[in-house]
């Protein structure tokens, strides 16, 4: 019997070692601080600011010779309750061009609790929005939340490949499909990409890139967030403060929001949070 058990353990160890996708995740987790440090983290909060270039339709503001569509992002804040899979994403967005003088800065607060997405208005009232998959992807656009998800039982890894100085793997989490890239030298996660369908342009890669990692309570986290749509850089945020296991408040969905009925007509498109 002991020989059979030992044989099974050896087989399982060999199988894991032969899975190149799992090896990429394990190496990244080790580079970020190790599984024993990553998995016990209960909360994460990051704060910073930057710019949103409002690029769309495959044009860039500099290519058009105008910066009219540049917006400042301030009070950029991301709060995560990792123990319960909850997130709250806040920012103020303000046009920088003089032609928008008098336009009120736009404050947005979006949140997700498991498979329920909701927004919080200026008056503090919460409203359910039926875009849980999109909001869940927003929750995963951080190396800490993404690596923890990649270690979960429902994660499927496939199609490991090399692209320049990066190693890539496709990650499937239930209905969500992402491509995750890792720096071949540091082993740290370098970007995550999702194909997003556009009625005019078809599938376009929506990418979040992470760089300038710094240690925060024993965990390596990026301090520069850069996102792209298609081939254009469309925004960037510098993180100035990050806190692990601090007080992020109550991120649970309000009870009245859970039972909100689905609207009969499609909800209008919302501004995507980076």
Q: What is the 3-state secondary structure (H, E, C) of 206-271?
A: EEEEEEEEEEECCEEEEEEEEEEECCEEEEEEEEEEEEECCCCCCCCCCHHHHCCCCCCCCCCCCC
Statement: residue 266 has pLDDT above 90: no
Statement: residue 269 has pLDDT above 90: no
Model confidence, pTM? 0.84
Give start and end residues of each alpha helix (H) in the chain. Answer: 2-17, 20-32, 35-38, 132-139, 143-150, 255-258
- If you average pLDDT over residues 87-92, what whole number do you get? 98
Least confident segment among 32-46, 118-132, 250-264 = 250-264
- 105 or 60, which is more confident? 105
- If you average pLDDT over residues 34-44, what whole number do you get? 98
Statement: residue 101 has pLDDT above 80: no
Q: Would you state the pLDDT for residue 136?
A: 96
Q: Rounded to an integer, what distance in angstroms lies between the CA atom of residue 52 and that of residue 40? A: 33
Statement: residue 132 has pLDDT above 70: yes
Per-residue pLDDT of 52-89, as tens digits, reads 876 554 455 555 544 456 889 999 999 999 999 999 99
- What six digits make up the tokens of 168? 């890539």
- How many CB atoms sit inside 10 A of residue 125's CB? 12
Q: Is the dihedral of CA 83, 221, 26, 40 positive or negative?
A: negative
Q: Rounded to an integer, what distance in angstroms lies between the CA atom of residue 220 and that of residue 44? A: 12
Q: Rounded to an integer, what distance in angstroms lies between the CA atom of residue 37 and that of residue 29? A: 9
∠ CA 21-27-29, rounded to 5°:
105
- If you average pLDDT over residues 99-105, what whole number do you get? 70
Statement: residue 265 has pLDDT above 70: no
Tell me the sheet residues that pair with 158: 170
């Amino acid at each position: 019997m002991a020989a059979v058990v030992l044989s099974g353990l050896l087989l399982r160890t060999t199988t894991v070692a032969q899975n190149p996708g799992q090896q990429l995740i394990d190496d990244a987790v080790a580079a970020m601080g190790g599984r024993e440090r990553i998995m016990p983290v209960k909360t994460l909060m990051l704060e910073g600011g930057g710019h949103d270039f409002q690029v769309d339709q495959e044009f860039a503001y500099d290519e058009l010779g105008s910066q009219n569509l540049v917006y400042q992002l301030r009070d950029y804040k991301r709060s995560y309750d990792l123990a319960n899979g909850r997130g709250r994403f806040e920012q103020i967005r303000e046009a920088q061009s003089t032609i928008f003088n008098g336009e009120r800065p736009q404050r947005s607060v979006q949140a997700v609790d498991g498979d329920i997405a909701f927004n919080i208005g200026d008056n503090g009232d919460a409203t359910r929005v039926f875009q849980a998959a999109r909001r869940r992807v927003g929750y995963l656009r951080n190396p800490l939340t993404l690596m923890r998800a990649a270690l979960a039982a429902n994660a499927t890894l496939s199609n490991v490949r090399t692209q320049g100085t990066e190693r890539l793997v496709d990650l499937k989490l239930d209905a969500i499909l992402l491509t995750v890239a890792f720096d071949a030298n540091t082993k740290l996660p370098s970007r995550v990409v999702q194909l997003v369908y556009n009625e005019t342009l078809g599938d376009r890669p929506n990418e979040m890139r992470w760089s300038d990692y710094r240690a925060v309570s024993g965990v390596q986290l990026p301090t520069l967030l850069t996102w792209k749509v298609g081939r254009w850089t469309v925004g960037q945020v510098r993180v100035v403060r990050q806190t692990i296991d601090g007080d992020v408040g109550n991120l649970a969905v309000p009870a009245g929001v859970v039972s909100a009925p689905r609207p009969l007509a499609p909800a209008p498109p919302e501004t995507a949070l980076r």
